Amino acid sequence: MKVADHSWLIQQAERFVKQVHAGEASGHDWWHIDRVRNTALDIAAKENADRTVCELAALLHDVADEKLNASKEAGLEKVRAWLTEQAADEDLTGKVMDIIANMSYNGGKNPPMTTLEGQVVQDADRLDAIGAIGIARTFAYSGAKGRIIHDPELSLDDLAQEDYRSAGKTAIYHFYEKLLKLKSLMNTPYARELAEQRHAFMEQYLQQFYREWGSRNP
Ligand code: ADP
Ligand code: NI
């Protein structure tokens, strides 16, 4: 009975989340959520994590995103209210809320996830930020913000300064600020394995990018 209940809850979550993320074109569309869910389930199988917790948390992980809500707290409240409405059991609700409240990147400054399921979902979200898909999302996000692709006259040090044209940081800078750091932040061994290949692809991509541009690496 419990299993059947959860599959119904997962279906409801899909419907809810599709509607929340409808029309979001800056990297948080439904297909990001779907990929994170699938990757989370793959990692969960290898690492023996609880599949229901991972799948539900993956589906709901960006509903509370600050970009889609007045504040992070308001976003988290929206998720909790939804889970309560579905009569999800308290234990499951607590576990899912704990994951989505704590998994964001935040410059790599958040404390490590304490549960295996949290580690799995965080890894799945981070994997979607690297590799070919991560590259696509970066340019989509940057374009949506009206930022340029690259500026060969700015060094990484220039761009790293917090206030330096902060509205104008380039898409390429995002690789150095975040994407290339994600591989070593993976929590689980299987995600680390998946990250290796995606990371190598980004390095290759950057080399080719600079080659075509005719400039040195920054
Ligand atoms: P998530 O938590 O789902 O990874 P984020 O809100 O951190 O989502 O980012 C959404 C996507 O946009 C990610 O692929 C991320 O790498 C990219 N992104 C975030 N900030 C920037 C930025 N300043 N420039 C370019 N891409 C960005
Ligand atoms: Ni995400």
Confidence (pLDDT) at 156: 81
Domain ranges (residues) in the chain: 1-107, 129-218
- Work out which ligand 1 atom sits closest to the CA atom of 169: 23
**Could you tell me if the CB of 131 is within 6 A of ligand 1?**
no
How many whole angstroms from 88 Cα to the centroid of ligand 1?
Answer: 30
Q: Span 1-107: which CATH code?
A: 1.10.472.50
Please say whether the beta carbons of 128 and 10 come within 8 A. Answer: no
Instruction: Please answer whether residues 64 and 78 qualify as being in contact, where contact means their C-beta atoms are separated by less than 8 angstroms.
Output: yes
Per-residue pLDDT tens digits for 83-110? 999 999 999 999 999 999 998 877 777 8
Distance from the CA of 82 to the center of ligand 1, in angstroms? Answer: 25
Alpha carbons 160 and 140: distance in angstroms, whole number: 21
Task: Give yes or no on whether 1-107 and 129-218 have one common fold.
Answer: no
For every residue of 34-76, which 3-state class applies, written as one string? Answer: HHHHHHHHHHHHHHCCCHHHHHHHHHHCCCCCHHHCCCHHHHH
Query: What number does the ligand 1 atom closest to the CA of 67 have?
Result: 6
Q: For residue 130, which of 62, 59, 39, 51 has the smallest C-alpha distance?
A: 39
- List pLDDT tens digits, range 51-84: 999 999 999 999 998 878 899 899 999 999 999 9
Q: Is the pLDDT of residue 26 over 70?
A: no
Q: Name the CATH topology of 129-218.
A: Methane Monooxygenase Hydroxylase; Chain G, domain 1 (1.20.58)
Report the distance separating Cα 70 and Cα 199, nearest Å.
34
